[in-house]
Amino acid sequence: MAILESWILNLESKFCLILPSKSPIMPGFELFGEEERKEVNEVLETGILMRYGFDAARKGRWKSKELEAAICSRFGSKYAQLTSSGTSALTTALSALGMGAGDEVIMPSFTFVASFEAVLSVGAVPVLVDIDDSLTLDPAAVRNAIGPRTKCVMPVHMCGSMADLDALQAICKEKNLVLLEDACQSIGASFKGKSLGTIGDAGAFSFDFVKTITCAEGGAVTTNDKSVYEKCDGFTDHGHDHLGADRGADLHPFIGYNYRISELHAAVGLAQIRKLDQFLAIQKKNHALLKSILEKIPEISFRRIPDPAGDSCTFLSWMLPTESIARAVVQELKSQNSLPGNFYWFDNNWHYIRKWDHLKTAATLNPLNEAQRSALLALGKQEFATSDAIMSRCISTAISLLWTEEQIRERGRIISESVKKALSSQKVTL
Ligand SMILES: Cc1ncc(COP(=O)(O)O)c(C=O)c1O
């Protein structure tokens, strides 16, 4: 750990742009500095900001290609296609996997809005089902939701940890369904030794500003299937086949869009991916200390992690015995100005079905296809009692890369005190 600490000190003292006032949430931006500047400057020196073409002028600098190679090598996928965001990575993957009008994609009730946005954008139907105590897709709920139009299962590896991929893979194999992993929140996490995002037919990553590693805006699709990769490659660039040296002479075997990443963003991503393992080591250390404090309270339980060794530890997700105790803890943290960094997703507008009125009322700017429209309106009447029973008791604490040991102990103390106060006010004995 001494090496780790000296690495952080070195970064902090020499180069780092540190943003302590931001509440941490998967914080690549917290340790950001000279390495990113160097990569960006190399692009600025050539003036070639686009990832394709201009071969002579770019002086051998291909940051996007380099980042794709780094993703393949770090995560162990055969292919990686960079995109302009995690949302466009999902859209690209869904298209390359053949999802389209009326196809049903099973996804969890707890995710980020981007997961269903991507499904809708390709004409497919998001079928939302319950999560279990892993905070990810409940395999039994997936099984129950499979119908004649089901084509794809999309687990979302929320808050740094994983869905039960053994169970989901078995279902997909048995029912001949595509498995697409939304690994946007779990960069660097793994399941049984394999990186999340590389286990299904394809995976999607996000490098937006609040992810484990960031390039401001960007994403990637990973896959081991050459034909899926080739489709992603063309789809993100107006369908270009990218076969010759002359971009103007490229053919367009199919219709694509512009979901390209820029060389500037890829340059930042390249510097960040090289730091990923250091970020993960810090997260795991900080997570372990905070957990050791909270687990002293017997009424606190923790999210189930299907493979604890693979947790990227960007969050510590913990649960209270009842919703009213969880709400009392949230109030107590708020009154102590300690709520930032602790997320009560049940009331959150972006992450849980309960607040997605725009989805449940099919509030789109342009007409949806009929299968989509009727499914969304039916969603408004659907109950998610199992998910509610879990999410209403769950608080996730984001793990900062910048915490000192004293700060973690202090945070643990405040949370513990808040929990004890809430328990005693609700007449639950410790
Ligand atoms: C689970 C999940 N999927 C997809 C995305 C979309 O990523 P982006 O913001 O890069 O479009 C996010 C972003 O927060 C996410 O959390």
125-136 pLDDT, tens digit per residue, is 999 999 999 999
- Report the residue among 87, 90, 351 best suited for mutation to probe ligand 1: largest number of ligand atoms under 8 A from its CB: 87
**87 alpha carbon to ligand 1 midpoint, in Å?**
6
What is the average per-residue pLDDT within 332-355? 94
**88 alpha carbon to ligand 1 midpoint, in Å?**
9
- DSSP characters for 269-329? HHHHHHHHHHHHHHHHHHHHHHHHHHTTSTT-EE---SSGGG---SEEEEE-SSHHHHHHH
Residue 219: φ, ψ to 5°: -160, 180
pLDDT of residue 9: 39
Atom nearest to 210 CA in ligand 1? 14
Atom nearest to 157 CA in ligand 1? 1
**178 alpha carbon to ligand 1 midpoint, in Å?**
20
Q: Which of 328, 331, 317, 291 is nearest to 390 (CA)?
A: 317
For ligand 1, atom 10: residue with the closest CA: 86
Chain segment 324-343, per-residue pLDDT in tens: 999 999 999 999 999 999 99
211 is catalytic: yes
Chain segment 232-257, per-residue pLDDT in tens: 999 999 999 999 888 888 999 999 99
Atom nearest to 218 CA in ligand 1? 10
**Structure tokens belonging to residue 46:** 């050539």
Q: What's the gap between Cα 75 and its chain centre?
A: 15
pLDDT of residue 33: 87
Query: Cα angle vertex 382, ends 381, 384, to 5°?
Result: 140
Please, which residues bridge with residue 258 across strands? Answer: 237
**295 alpha carbon to ligand 1 midpoint, in Å?**
30
What is the average per-residue pLDDT within 258-279? 97
- Report the residue among 208, 213, 268, 314 best suited for mutation to probe ligand 1: largest number of ligand atoms under 8 A from its CB: 208
Does residue 360 have a pLDDT over 80? yes
Q: Is 86 near ligand 1, meaning CB less than 6 Å away?
A: yes
- Report the residue among 25, 88, 112, 215 best suited for mutation to probe ligand 1: largest number of ligand atoms under 8 A from its CB: 112
Chain segment 378-424, per-residue pLDDT in tens: 999 999 999 999 999 999 999 999 999 999 999 999 999 999 999 99
Does residue 363 have a pLDDT over 60? yes
Does residue 198 have a pLDDT over 50? yes
**157 alpha carbon to ligand 1 midpoint, in Å?**
11
Q: Is 136 near ligand 1, meaning CB less than 6 Å away?
A: no
Does residue 301 have a pLDDT over 60? yes
Q: Which of 78, 151, 173, 211 is catalytic?
A: 211
Percentage of the chain with pLDDT > 90? 88
Q: What's the gap between Cα 317 and its chain centre?
A: 15
**410 alpha carbon to ligand 1 midpoint, in Å?**
31
Chain segment 63-84, per-residue pLDDT in tens: 999 999 999 999 999 999 999 9
- Report the residue among 92, 206, 352 best suited for mutation to probe ligand 1: largest number of ligand atoms under 8 A from its CB: 206
For ligand 1, atom 8: residue with the closest CA: 86
Q: Is 156 near ligand 1, meaning CB less than 6 Å away?
A: yes
pLDDT of residue 18: 39
Atom nearest to 217 CA in ligand 1? 10
For ligand 1, atom 7: residue with the closest CA: 86
Q: Is 182 near ligand 1, meaning CB less than 6 Å away?
A: yes
Residue 358: φ, ψ to 5°: -65, -30
Q: How far is CA 181 from CA 39, 61, 93, 165, 225, in A?
A: 30, 31, 10, 9, 14
Chain segment 1-51, per-residue pLDDT in tens: 344 444 443 443 333 333 444 455 566 678 888 999 999 999 999 999 999
Atom nearest to 87 CA in ligand 1? 11
Q: How confident is the model at residue 100 (pLDDT cuts 50, 70, 90)?
A: very high
pLDDT of residue 246: 87
Q: Is 307 near ligand 1, meaning CB less than 6 Å away?
A: no
Q: Is 206 near ligand 1, meaning CB less than 6 Å away?
A: yes
Query: Which of the two residues, 172 and 19, has the higher pLDDT score?
Result: 172
Where are any strands of DSSP class E within 39-175?
A: 79-83, 104-108, 125-129, 150-153
Q: What is the mean pLDDT of the chain?
A: 93
pLDDT of residue 6: 43
What is residue 388's three-state secondary structure? helix
Where are any strands of DSSP class E within 1-133?
A: 79-83, 104-108, 125-129
**85 alpha carbon to ligand 1 midpoint, in Å?**
8
**132 alpha carbon to ligand 1 midpoint, in Å?**
21
pLDDT of residue 26: 61
